[in-house]
Amino acid sequence: MNAQSVSLLTHDVGMMTTARHYGLSFVEIPSDWLLSPEPDERDKKIAAYEKEITSFKATHPAIRASFSHNGKELDRGVIEVEQYRRLSDQDVDILLERIKAYHPQETIFKTHPPDRPMNGIGAALFRWRPPSEQEIREYTEYAYPAWLKQVRDRLSGLAVAMEYPTRRFFIDLDIENTGFKSAQSARVQLVARGGLMLLPEPEDDEENCAEEQTSLPPPPQPPAGKWGTGMFDLGFDQLMPIVDRRGYAHLLSANLPPRPRDPNKFYWEEGRHEMSAQWELTCQEFMHKVGPISFQVPVFVPSDTTITRGAIELTVAAANLPEPFRKVVPVEVRYHEASIDEVVDGLIARL
């Protein structure tokens, strides 16, 4: 009778150790032969809850948002502010005297024609006209004093104007509805915390105005005599009729009803036209699965503060959103000293 080989079939490490100790043959059961453990009551409850949550999410919108700066995702914003010493009234007086020495008011005006008079037909058609008393008076009593006042105002506000670009920090905000339903009566709210502010939508000429505030206006030209005829002395603008460049479009649009709002677009409710600590926009129906909408958020450190920390807080709510979506990005403000004297010297040299 042939002897049969008998081995212990097990997956238990302890049993395999015992069998090896007594010299018994054993075969380890592969892991993929094993059945999954029977779920207990706790596992069954968790599975039921997960199924319920999945079903619940399928009937509601889901909001996702991200902050970025210069194309990189933003977890924390850092604003690097250049601080300039404010010019005192005495500083401005001294600088104004320096500017007046470089560009004094003219007191002698040409009353005679140039040394090279016109000949031939030119002499017959044109005549020399010296500056009139009115032109001289406008220059001495209005144009030159007004220029000095404008220079004084620019110098007084120069430090604030120079700091302004460095006190701004632009954050790009993307908001997306990744759920399975549109968000009804959606409301986006941005709040600046810790003394930070949100700037309004920029005007078309805002950058040009900012550049003007960091420069000095050129001095007015004193009146000078000129050659002309009686007709051309009037000036082109006096000869040509004034034309209303708007045409008739403004007359037609005056009686048109307001354009209806697009239900899928966001519209301003608060913060569009003035600097404030809060923005608010609304959308009747924030569509789902159509990609993100983008906003540029200009954060501003007010000139009369030296805050070092703040935050921008986003809240998105909707009528059919179970709870508002919230996200916060902290902001740090760092200050660096800059020389106002170097700026002033450069501006005066360019006059």
Residue from 11, 8, 14 nearest 32 by CA: 11
CATH class of 63-86+157-217+262-351: mainly beta
Q: What's the pLDDT at 237?
A: 44
Q: Where are the domains of the chain?
A: 1-36, 63-86+157-217+262-351, 89-110+118-148
Global pTM? 0.70
The DSSP 8-state label assigned to residue 87 in this structure reads: P
Instruction: With a cut of 50, list the residues of the chain below it in pLDDT.
Output: 1, 231-245
Tokens, residue 66: 């991200």
pLDDT for position 180? 86
Taking the C-alpha atoms of residue 280 and residue 273, their distance in angstroms, rounded to an integer, is: 12
CB atoms within 10 A of CB 225: 17
Alpha carbons 192 and 263: distance in angstroms, whole number: 27
Q: Position of tokens 């404008």?
A: 150
The string of pLDDT tens digits covering residues 97-106 is 999 999 999 9
CA distances from 91 to 98, 132, 340, 350 (A): 11, 37, 11, 19
On the 0-12 / 13-18 / 19+ scale of CB atoms within 10 A, 299 is buried
